[in-house]
Every structure is written in structure tokens, then in C-alpha cells.
Amino acid sequence: SGRWAKAMAIVNELEDKCGTPITRLRHVAEAMTVEMHAGLASEDGSKLKMLVSYVDNLPTGDEEGLFYALDLGGTNFRVLRVHLGGQGKGVGKQEFQEVSIPPHLMTGTSDALFDYIAETLGKFVATEEEGYPFPGRDRELGFTFSFPVNQTSIASGTLIRWTKGFSIEDAIGEDVVGELTKALRRNGLDMRVTALVNDTVGTLASGRYYNPDVICAVILGTGTNAAYVERANAIPKWHGPPPSSGEMVINMEWGNFWSSHLPLTEYDLALDTESLNPGEQIFEKIISGMYLGEILRRVLLRMAEDAAFFGDTVPPKLKIPFILRTPDMSAMHHDESPDLEVVGKKLQAILEISNTSLEARKVIIKLCDIVATRGARLSSAGILGILKKLERDNITASGGQKSVIALDGGLFEHYMKFSASMESTLKELLGEEIANSIVIERSNDGSGIGAALLAASHSTYL
């Protein structure tokens, strides 16, 4: 019928606009490399901030003692207590607690957010079984803060802007460690922050602790970002003292990457315009967990409005932004039942759409595939950009050295078709010979442990 043809035209156009043929991915990777150079050359030289992390030594295995970490990322935050064995004995007992952030605190005041965090942390500290082994000393904390920060030392930095649905005006420009420390004092906690790290930097640190071949870390969770180890003399904008290691970890903030080679659609443009941060984080908005389900919702809404895809009326729930979450999209995408039962149930439960035909459900899976595949393939192109910058994308330059990419985040961890597409795309981009020496390794909650490791190596009691 005419409706069906109209719907298929929308699907085909989406597929065309989201296309990521290998040549396009190569252009994206090349653009990433170029922007990395520009961001390292000067402040505001690129949309890629290429932030200097002040981490010039990664964990060695000698880190020892009881340390805390706090991981504030997107929707949840985690508090951790880690016993570090020292001298290659590894990480001993690890305890953690995960708490969701009440949505009103994501757009409220700095004090309200940090008081909530400090309170939670206080309760967690109170569950210490053996007590703190160093009476009279403050407990030491690694603070993983996954938003763009202008680092001013290893344990301080000012917030540049919020991303991922956060918008707390009075925190922008403030030292986030200062804000947390004030809340710790208000809540009577004897604790001090000895390392402020981005989640990518934490993941890189814990990745390196377990595997010396780890050279970069990528997060694919609510948002997306990457960090890697750069040669200090390849950072022209750095005017501080040259690090004795000769290296510096760079937090790329690649979520804000933009290139004319990115395949963007009308849905992406509308999502961006209506977002809390229009014009920013465009790479993140087509790749990461916060947005994939929302892109799918926008396509479905268009199909309902313009092609009566769900019948004569537009399902009202379909008009609600962010109602369709990426985990639900993932569940539909992985549905292998003959009548696509999961797709039917999700449509019913989330969007109150009933009696969908098998044909319609198949179309929805196809949409999931288009949107997820684009994100996954672009993520791999981003990784290729880093490998190119480090000259590890070809056998000759890399000398056969192994390169390991530590990957963390709920999207990569749980969305199997996404991670599978990423891994096969990376192989496709690299070619067989070099692909064997470049490995993606899943990092298990690296961002928190990494912060604890860096808190230990920057302890004020050393």
C-alpha cells in the first residue's frame, strides 16, 4: 500500500544517510588525527579539547594501602573502597556501592549535588569493617569526574561545561574538587581528594596496571570519550615543567569531535537543536548510550506521522523525548524469536503500541541496526584516528608492538551487536596483518579502580 511504501522510503533514506562505507570511515579517522594535532597545538585549537590530565606516570603495581574512589559519570555514581597490595601483589578486597542520581539533582545546584554525593560517601565509609589503618590521617579519595575539566593540578580542575543531560549552572568554572571538598566538610567527613581524573584516564590507569601494552582507553556508556598516552614533546600547548617520564595522558574529550565527514541526518540535527547543549558533543550524540534510543524514537515518530506506520493515529507516547532508552533498543535489536516477541512487548510496554505485524517488527529491527551500526563503526574510526596519531596503525611504524585499547562503559558491555560491529570494523579498517597486534580489551569498572590507583600514587602521605 501507499503507507508501507512511504514508510520504506523513510527507512531507505535513513539507511543511505547513516551509511559508513570504509572510505568514509577513513576520512573520519584522518579528520580525528588532524583535530588531535590541532587540539594539542593550542588552547581552543580544535573542537577536541585534548586536555592535559597531569597524569604523567601510570600505575606501576607498587601502589599500596586502603583507598577510596568516587565515580560520577552519567546516570549513576559509584563509591569504591579498594585495598591495594603493593609490589605487584595486585588489588585485594574491592567493595563498591552504586547509587542512581535523582534527576532533579542533575539540573539543580552544585551544593545539592555534592551534598548528596558526600552523604552517600559518608554512609559507605561507615561500613568499613576493619576501620581505617592510619588513625589521625584523612582517608584519601580518587575522584572520577566524567565531564570536561580544565585540570590545574593532579587534584584540582575547573568545570568547562556539562554534558550528558547535566546542567548545573553555578558549578561551571568552579574547581570540582573544591566543591566536593566543601561538601565533605559540611558532612563531617575526614577525607581528601588526591587525584581528580576523567573516567577515560581512570580506565587507562587501571588498564595499564593489569596490562603494560594498554595505550589508550575508550568509554562507550551514557556518553563517549577517549584518553591516551602522548609524548610530552608532542604537546606544544603544554608550558608546564617537562614530565620526567616524557609522557602525559591526554583526555581527548572526543565526544565533541565534529567533521564534515560525519554522516548526520535530519533526526540528529533536530535532536541536537532540542538538546541541553546544542552544537556540542555531536560525535557523542550519534554514538553513545544516552542518544541511540532517542534517535530511533525520532525515526519512528516520523514514520508514524508521515506514513501512518502505527495506524491512523500517532501513538502519544512516541512523542515523549528519551522515552525509548538504548537498553530497550538493544533488547529489540537482539530479539531472535520467530515472531519477534521482544519487539512486540517493548512497543507495548514503552510506547503503548499494540498489535504490530511481524513485518513492522522486522522494520524496527532494521532501524535499530542502522542506528547502532553507524555508532559502532564511527567509534572504530575514532580509534583508528588515535592509532594513526601514535603511528601504530601500520606494521612498519609500530615495529610489531602490541597495542591494547581498554574499553569500558555500559553500551560496549551490554550491547553485543554494537561491540561486535566495532571489533569487526576495526579489523576491516586495519587489515589482517596489523589487526592481530591491536586488541580491544574490556575493562571491568576501570574508571573507579584507576582513580583509586592514582589516588594512591599521588598520596599526600607518601
Q: Catalytic residue positions?
A: 146, 161, 199
Q: How far is the CB of 144 from Mg ion (least distance, A)?
A: 7
Q: How far is CA 446 from CA 76, 204, 335, 441, in A?
A: 15, 8, 30, 11
Of 65 and 289, nearer to ligand ADP (C-beta) is 289
Using CA of residue 394, residue 395, residue 397, residue 399, what is the dihedral sign?
A: positive
Cell of 53: 590530565
Q: Is 417 in the site for ligand ADP (CB under 6 A)?
A: no
Q: Is 327 in the site for ligand ADP (CB under 6 A)?
A: yes
Q: Is 74 in the site for ligand ADP (CB under 6 A)?
A: yes
- Alpha helix locations (H) across 103-253? 103-106, 110-125, 176-186, 199-210
Cell of 274: 532540542
Of 251 and 457, nearer to ligand ADP (C-beta) is 251
Cell of 418: 554494537
Q: How far is the CB of 326 from ligand ADP (least distance, A)?
A: 4
Among 65, 148, 202, 409, the residue binding ligand ADP under the rule CB under 6 A is 409
Q: Please count the residues of this chain forming the interface with ligand ADP, following the rule CB under 6 A.
A: 16
Among 17, 24, 27, 414, the residue binding ligand ADP under the rule CB under 6 A is 414
Q: How far is the CB of 1 from ligand ADP (least distance, A)?
A: 34
Cα distance between residue 42 and residue 139, in whole Å: 37
Q: Is 326 in the site for ligand ADP (CB under 6 A)?
A: yes
Radius of gyration in angstroms for the set of CA atoms belonging to the chain, rounded to a whole number? 23
Of 219 and 282, nearer to Mg ion (C-beta) is 219
Q: How far is the CB of 444 from Mg ion (least distance, A)?
A: 12
Cα distance between residue 321 and residue 455, in whole Å: 39
Q: Is 317 in the site for ligand ADP (CB under 6 A)?
A: no
Q: What are phi and psi of 91, to 5 degrees?
A: -90, 125
Interface stretch with ligand ADP, choices 244-252, 253-261, 268-276, 322-330 (CB under 6 A): 322-330
First-to-last CA distance in the chain? 75
**Residue least distant from ligand ADP (Cβ):** 289
Site for ligand ADP, residues 75 to 134, rule: CB under 6 A: 75-76
Fill in the per-residue mask, 217 to 256: x = in contact with Mg ion (CB under 5 A), - = not in contact.
Answer: ----x-----------------------------------
Of 221 and 382, nearer to Mg ion (C-beta) is 221
Interface stretch with ligand ADP, choices 51-59, 149-157, 260-268, 326-334 (CB under 6 A): 326-334
Q: In 10 A of CB 396, how many CB atoms? A: 8
Q: Which amino acid is at 171?
A: A
326 binds, among ligand ADP, Mg ion, none (CB under 5 to 8 A by kind): ligand ADP
Of 326 and 380, nearer to ligand ADP (C-beta) is 326
410 binds, among Mg ion, ligand ADP, none (CB under 5 to 8 A by kind): ligand ADP
Using CA of residue 152, residue 391, residue 405, residue 76, what is the dihedral sign?
A: positive
CB 61 within 8 A of CB 76: no
147 binds, among Mg ion, ligand ADP, none (CB under 5 to 8 A by kind): none
Of 157 and 409, nearer to ligand ADP (C-beta) is 409
One-character DSSP codes across 228-278 = EEEEGGG-TT--SPPPTTSEEEEE--GGG---TTS---HHHHHHHHTSSST
Continuous segment of H or E residues that includes residue 377: helix 358-389
Cα distance between residue 190 and residue 175, in whole Å: 19
Of 375 and 410, nearer to Mg ion (C-beta) is 410
Of 199 and 253, nearer to Mg ion (C-beta) is 199
Among 415, 422, 429, 443, the residue binding ligand ADP under the rule CB under 6 A is 415
One-character DSSP codes across 23-44 = HHHHHHHHHHHHHHHHHHHSTT
Q: Is 73 in the site for Mg ion (CB under 5 A)?
A: yes
Site for ligand ADP, residues 31 to 70, rule: CB under 6 A: none
Cα distance between residue 178 and residue 196, in whole Å: 11
Using CA of residue 63, residue 68, residue 73, residue 74, what is the dihedral sign?
A: positive
222 binds, among ligand ADP, Mg ion, none (CB under 5 to 8 A by kind): ligand ADP
Positions touching Mg ion (CB under 5 A) are 73, 199, 221
Positions touching ligand ADP (CB under 6 A) are 73-76, 221-222, 289-290, 326-327, 330, 409-411, 414-415
